[in-house]
Amino acid sequence: MSLVSKDIPLAEITLRKYEKPYNLDKRDLVKKLCLSIGLLQPGDSRDVIVDVLLTLTENKEPLDSKQIEENVISTRKLNNLELKGIASSNIRRQIKRLKDLGAKERQVSLPHTEYAVPVYYIVATAEASSNLARFDGVQYGFRERDTKNLIEMYKKTRGIGFGDEAKRRIILGTFVLSHGYYDAYYLRALKVRTLIKRDFDEVFKDFDCIVTPTSPTPAFKIGEKTSDPLKMYLSDIYTISVNLAGVPAISIPCGFTKSGLPVGLQIIAKPFQEEMLYRVAHAYEQATPWHKMKPKL
């Protein structure tokens, strides 16, 4: 089992990515790494593919008492919706297009999002450590058969079955949940997560959406940051705040760098306001050609 971040790679290859941080998924189709953070993120260059994925996974699951019952609008219903309002963050070149479509723009402050990276990787690794404990070769997932006893089976199953990133998160998560460190790390991270959510709640009292870059940098070379995971984690600074705050977001193509690398625009909406999310993304794509263009290989 290997772990990858879908947020940044999809933005870097001109694909759309829709992210929902609340539990609308059928659990028999999706195995969750983190119950409160890592949920399904359908991504594709075509509305119909994203819509099919959402339809397949959002049916009511009678075995899951934690699944939220909310009606989320389909992309097929958005052909004639108009754009009414939006708040902006950093991508100045794209704001004018949104304003031309009828958006009202103002810069806003989310002061506690600067702590999003450490908070995310404390909470996410703690939940991953707990959730992945079931994959021991007994009832769930892969089992290494070439073993002499139960303990060796446990060790080889988890050693072979998990990739480097999964192991890294399990080790870190086990540490922050251990005796003597729970209050110092995990409990404190949960408190800061609440402050991040409050930042978003305050902004959404006056605005329908927030616009940010999907990533602070364009795509980096394969293997360029694997030797320093912390640098790679910092690439998630704009997207992980969404997971922590529990709000939906979508990433859409919004242009290319001078060297021809794709750039992603992230649109964030209020909880369960997928209609507004799709409305803004659809209006932007109708006025721009970026979603039809591919980077040169």
How many of the other CB atoms lie within 10 Å of CB of 29?
12
Q: Where are the beta strands (DSSP E) in 73-159?
A: 87-88
Amino acid letter, residue 283: A
More confident residue, 40 or 292: 292
- Residue 14 and residue 295 in contact, taking contact as beta carbons nearer than 8 Å: yes
| Mean of per-residue pLDDT scores for the chain | 75
pLDDT at 284: 87
Confidence of residue 149 (pLDDT cuts 50, 70, 90): very high
Tokens of 107: 């810069």
* One-letter identity of residue 96: K
Which of 246, 284, 197, 238 lies closest to 70 in space, CA to CA? 246
pLDDT at position 4 is: 39
Strands 262-269 and 209-213: antiparallel
- The C-alpha angle with vertex 271 and arms to 270 and 275, in degrees rounded to 5, equals 70
- Which residue would you say has higher pLDDT here, 93 or 249? 249
pLDDT tier for residue 85 given thresholds of 50, 70 and 90: very low
- Count of all residues that appear for the chain in the document: 297
Give the total number of structural domains in the chain: 1
Please check whether residue 77 lies inside any domain of the structure. yes
Q: What is the mean pLDDT of residues 141-156?
A: 90
Instruction: Indicate whether 135 belongs to any domain.
Output: yes
Does residue 213 contact residue 238 with C-beta atoms inside 8 Å?
yes
Look at residue 84 and tell me if it is in a domain.
yes
Q: Is residue 2 part of a domain?
A: no
- Side chain identity at 214, as an amino acid letter? T
The pLDDT score that the predictor gives to residue 64 is 58
**Range in 14-18, 193-197, 209-213, 257-261 with the lowest mean pLDDT:** 14-18
Q: Distance between CA 102 and CA 85 in Å, rounded?
A: 7
pLDDT of residue 8: 53
Q: Is residue 33 part of a domain?
A: yes
List the domain range (segments joined by +) for residue 32: 7-291
Residue 151 lies in a domain: yes
Per-residue buried b or exposed e for 186-204, using 16+ beta carbons within 10 Å of the residue's own CB: beebeebbeebbebbeebb
CATH number for the domain that contains residue 114: 3.90.1300.10
Stronger pLDDT, 136 or 5, i.e. the higher one: 136
Confidence grade of residue 201 (pLDDT, cut at 50, 70, 90)? very high
Model confidence at 35, pLDDT cuts 50, 70, 90, reads low
Average pLDDT, stretch 274-281? 85
Order of strands across the sheet with 87-88? 43-44, 16-19, 249-256, 262-269, 209-213, 87-88
The answer to whether residue 211 sits within a structural domain is yes
Residue 296 lies in a domain: no
Highest mean pLDDT range out of 13-22, 50-59, 178-187? 178-187
**What separation, in Å, do the N-terminal and C-terminal C-alpha atoms of the chain show?**
29
Residue owning tokens 């995990």: 186
